[in-house]
Amino acid sequence: QVTLRESGPALVKPTQTLTLTCTFSGFSLSTLGMCVSWIRQPPGKALEWLALIDWDDVKYYSPSLKTRLSISKDTSKNQVVLTMTNMDPVDTATYYCTRSPLPGGFDFWGQGTLVTVSS
């Protein structure tokens, strides 16, 4: 049974750095072709892909946000961590962690965590 769970602060201040952790079970991120992605959704708006890390520790980022994002993994702990710097109120969104096996879809999702950016 595949599960993913996001954890992190519900509230961050503008200019702060957001750190989110995805803890997963039911699959291994060291398996060939396996990846984990982060996706966000501002209230009432569309989904936006943020970043992906693959089994070989290769990382991809949204071109529009790549200067602010960093993704990493701890395979032994079954965790993937996303950091986003210089947070702004427009970054207020529900952040989802997803399993994303090649070639490219997102087949399992966490329940999401709402992050609000406000002073």
Partner 1 sequence: SYELTQPPSVSVSPGQTARITCSADALPKQFAYWYQQKPGQAPVQVIYKDTERPSGIPERFSGSSSGTTVTLTISGVQAEDEADYYCQSADISGAHRVFGGGTKLTVL
Q: Which of 1, 10, 43, 63 binds partner 1 (CB under 8 A)?
A: 63
Out of 93, 100, 115, 117, which residue is the one contacting partner 1 (CB under 8 A)? 100
How far is the C-alpha of 65 from the C-alpha of 49, rounded, in Å? 10
How many helical (H) and strand (E) elements, i.e. helices and strands, does the chain have?
Answer: 0, 11
Shortest spacing between CB 20 and partner 1, in angstroms: 15
Q: Say if CB 98 and CB 6 are below 8 A apart.
A: no
Q: How far is the CB of 55 from partner 1 (least distance, A)?
A: 15
Considering the rule CB under 8 A, would residue 43 count as an interface residue with partner 1? Answer: no
CA distance 50 to 38: 5
**Is 37 near partner 1 (CB under 8 A)?**
yes
